[in-house]
Amino acid sequence: MRRPARIMPWILPEEMAVWVREAPGKADYQKRLAIWLTAIGPYHARKVADLLQVSPQAVWLWVSQYNRNGPEALTREGRGGRRWGFLSWEQEEALLSSLRARAMKGEVLTATALWPEVRRAMGREVSLDYVYRLLHRHGWRKLGPRPRHVKADPAAQEAFKKNSPRSSERRSPTSRRGRR
């Protein structure tokens, strides 16, 4: 079996105990406790993971971060959020505000129609999927009129609605018996 991990002496054991007790939250407490248990035990990562109810990979990661960069390494922020983008949020809003005026006038704006304008504003090639994601990210919804056939005759449709029998009138009373 492998030897337990070694903890770099960034802080003294007495200071480490205080450091563990002063953890601001549960997640920080778990990380610090994993380091402390590995240091004083020395316990293997699997044993520490069982005690703390986390995965051994998490313990290995925390020990590695602590050994590389010291106690401050365990206080980094999570990885949530947008890591990269062609434009900042404010730039995207500015771009869409110029398009919003056209949309409010009743102009039909589709992602395909906006694609060249987005590329021009960004000064680089982007995919059509990027335009769809941009619109979705800023809460633009797909609203459009219902499709109409080119040869549709509104007068004939109204006449059909007025002259056609209701669905309940078409059925005979005997046709319902077998359908229960």
Domain regions of the chain by residue span: 13-75, 89-137
- The model carries a pTM of 0.47
List, for residues 54-106, the tens digit of each pLDDT value. Answer: 999 999 999 999 999 999 888 877 777 777 788 888 999 999 998 888 888 87
Cα gap 127→136, rounded to integer Å: 15
Write out the two tokens for 84.
């990269």
Cα gap 125→82, rounded to integer Å: 20
Confidence at 176, pLDDT banded by 50, 70, 90: low
φ, ψ of residue 82 to 5 degrees: the values are -90, 120
φ, ψ of residue 124 to 5 degrees: the values are -160, 165
Q: Is the dihedral of CA 15, 49, 31, 1 positive or negative?
A: positive
Q: What is the pLDDT of residue 125?
A: 93
Q: What is the pLDDT of residue 28?
A: 92
Mean pLDDT of 32-55: 92
Mean pLDDT of the chain: 85
Confidence at 33, pLDDT banded by 50, 70, 90: very high
Cα gap 63→151, rounded to integer Å: 72
Q: How many CB atoms are located within 10 Å of the residue 5 CB?
A: 22
Proportion of the chain above pLDDT 70, given as a percent = 89
Cα gap 80→64, rounded to integer Å: 21
More confident site: 4 or 179? 4
Q: What is the pLDDT of residue 110?
A: 85
Q: How many CB atoms are located within 10 Å of the residue 134 CB?
A: 21
Has residue 49 got a pLDDT over 60? yes
List, for residues 99-133, the tens digit of each pLDDT value. Answer: 888 888 877 788 898 899 999 988 999 999 999 99
Inter-residue contact 49 to 55 (CB < 8 Å) = yes
